Chains A and B, each alone.
Chain A
Amino acid sequence: MSTETMKRPRSAAPGAAGAGKLSFHGVLRSEFIKFFSLPSTMILILATLVVMVGFSALGAWGIGRSMAMFASNPEMAAQMGDVNELSASLPASGLVFAQLIIGALAVMVMSSEFATGSARSTFVAAPTRQPVFWAKMLLVTVVSAVVALASILLAYLMAKPIAENYKLPLDFASEAFQRNLWFGVLYVVMVSLIGLALGTLLKNSAGGIVVLAALFFVLPIAIGGLSGIISWLADAARFLPDSAGSALMKMPGAANALEPLAAGLVVGAWIVVPLAAAAVLLQRRDI
Chain B
Amino acid sequence: MITAEALTKNYGTKRAVDGVTFTVQPGKVTGFLGPNGAGKSTTMRMIVGLDRPSFGNVTVNGRRYAEHAAPLREVGALLEAKSVHRSRSARTHLRALAATHSIPNTRVDEVIELTGLGAVATKKVGGFSLGMGQRLGIAVALLGDPQTLILDEPVNGLDPEGVLWVRNLARHQASQGKTVFISSHLMSEMALTADHLIVIGRGRIIADAPIDAVIGGGNVPTCMVKTDSAEDLMNALAAENVQLTRMDAQTIQVAGLDGRAIATRALDRQILLYELTPVKQSLEEAYMALTQDEVEYRSHAGTDMDAAISGKQAQR
Distance from A18 Cβ to chain B, minimum over Cβ atoms (Å) = 6
Contacts of A34 in B (CB 8 A): 85, 88, 92, 96
Contacts of A15 in B (CB 8 A): 104, 106-107, 109-110
CB <8 Å contact, A117 and B176: no
For B98-111 the 0/1 string (1 means CB < 8 A from A) is 01111110110110
A33-B99 contact, Cβ under 8 Å, with A19-B73, A22-B69, A287-B50: yes
Which of B75-83, B260-268, B285-293 interfaces with chain A?
B75-83
Assembled-state Cα–Cα distance A175/B10 (Å): 59
Count B-side interface residues using an 8 Å CB cutoff.
46
For B18-58 the 0/1 string (1 means CB < 8 A from A) is 00000000000000000000000000010011111000000
CB neighbors of B among A23-51 (8 A): 23, 25-27, 29-31, 33-34, 37-40
Q: Does A3 contact B (CB under 8 A)?
A: no
Assembled-state Cα–Cα distance A223/B47 (Å): 49
Assembled-state Cα–Cα distance A11/B106 (Å): 17
Distance from B258 Cβ to chain A, minimum over Cβ atoms (Å) = 43
Assembled-state Cα–Cα distance A38/B84 (Å): 12
CB <8 Å contact, A112 and B48: no
A40-B48 contact, Cβ under 8 Å, with A11-B147, A26-B101, A117-B80: no
A22-B51 contact, Cβ under 8 Å, with A117-B84, A127-B66: no
Contacts of A127 in B (CB 8 A): 48-49, 65-66, 71
Q: Does B95 contact A (CB under 8 A)?
A: yes
Contacts of A262 in B (CB 8 A): none
Distance from B8 Cβ to chain A, minimum over Cβ atoms (Å) = 14
For B161-191 the 0/1 string (1 means CB < 8 A from A) is 0000000000000001010000000000000
Assembled-state Cα–Cα distance A127/B45 (Å): 11
CB <8 Å contact, B85 and A26: no
CB <8 Å contact, A16 and B92: no
Distance from A19 Cβ to chain B, minimum over Cβ atoms (Å) = 4
Distance from B243 Cβ to chain A, minimum over Cβ atoms (Å) = 51
Contacts of B101 in A (CB 8 A): 19-23, 26, 125
Distance from B173 Cβ to chain A, minimum over Cβ atoms (Å) = 10
A286-B88 contact, Cβ under 8 Å, with A19-B73, A33-B99, A127-B66: no
Assembled-state Cα–Cα distance A18/B144 (Å): 11
A116-B85 contact, Cβ under 8 Å, with A19-B145, A121-B140: yes
Chain B: interface secondary structure?
A: loop
Count A-side interface residues using an 8 Å CB cutoff.
41
A21-B88 contact, Cβ under 8 Å, with A26-B101, A125-B97: no
From B177, which residue of chain A is reached at the shortest CB distance? A11
CB <8 Å contact, A26 and B102: yes
CB <8 Å contact, B96 and A33: yes
Q: Does B86 contact A (CB under 8 A)?
A: yes
Contacts of A14 in B (CB 8 A): 110
A118-B85 contact, Cβ under 8 Å, with A124-B50, A125-B71, A127-B66: yes
Distance from B222 Cβ to chain A, minimum over Cβ atoms (Å) = 44
From B79, which residue of chain A is reached at the shortest CB distance? A120
Which of B95, B100, B103, B140 makes the CB contact (< 8 A) with A16? Answer: B103
A125-B72 contact, Cβ under 8 Å, with A120-B50, A287-B50: yes
A124-B96 contact, Cβ under 8 Å, with A11-B147, A15-B107: no
A121-B176 contact, Cβ under 8 Å, with A18-B104, A20-B101, A29-B99: no
Distance from B95 Cβ to chain A, minimum over Cβ atoms (Å) = 6
A124-B102 contact, Cβ under 8 Å, with A15-B110, A40-B87: no
A121-B104 contact, Cβ under 8 Å, with A11-B147, A39-B87, A128-B66: no
Contacts of A21 in B (CB 8 A): 69-70, 73, 101-102
Q: Does A282 contact B (CB under 8 A)?
A: no
Which of A19, A27, A31, A40 makes the CB contact (< 8 A) with B103? Answer: A19
Assembled-state Cα–Cα distance A113/B66 (Å): 19
Assembled-state Cα–Cα distance A119/B71 (Å): 16
Assembled-state Cα–Cα distance A20/B104 (Å): 9
CB <8 Å contact, A121 and B69: no
Q: Does A123 contact B (CB under 8 A)?
A: yes
Q: Does A126 contact B (CB under 8 A)?
A: yes
CB <8 Å contact, B97 and A286: no
CB <8 Å contact, B176 and A11: yes
Contacts of A121 in B (CB 8 A): 83-84, 93, 97, 140
For A69-98 the 0/1 string (1 means CB < 8 A from B) is 000000000000000000000000000000
Instruction: Return the 7 tightest CB-CB contacts between A and B, nearest first.
Output: A127-B66, A15-B107, A20-B102, A13-B145, A120-B83, A16-B145, A30-B99
- B-side residues, CB < 8 A to A, are 45, 48-52, 65-66, 69-73, 75, 77, 79-80, 82-89, 92-93, 95-97, 99-104, 106-107, 109-110, 140, 144-145, 147, 176, 178
Query: Can you list 26 A-B pairs with a CB-CB distance of less than 8 A?
Result: A13-B145, A14-B110, A15-B107, A16-B103, A16-B107, A16-B144, A18-B102, A19-B101, A19-B102, A20-B70, A20-B101, A20-B103, A21-B101, A23-B101, A27-B99, A37-B96, A38-B87, A40-B87, A120-B79, A121-B97, A123-B49, A124-B75, A128-B66, A284-B52, A286-B52, A287-B51
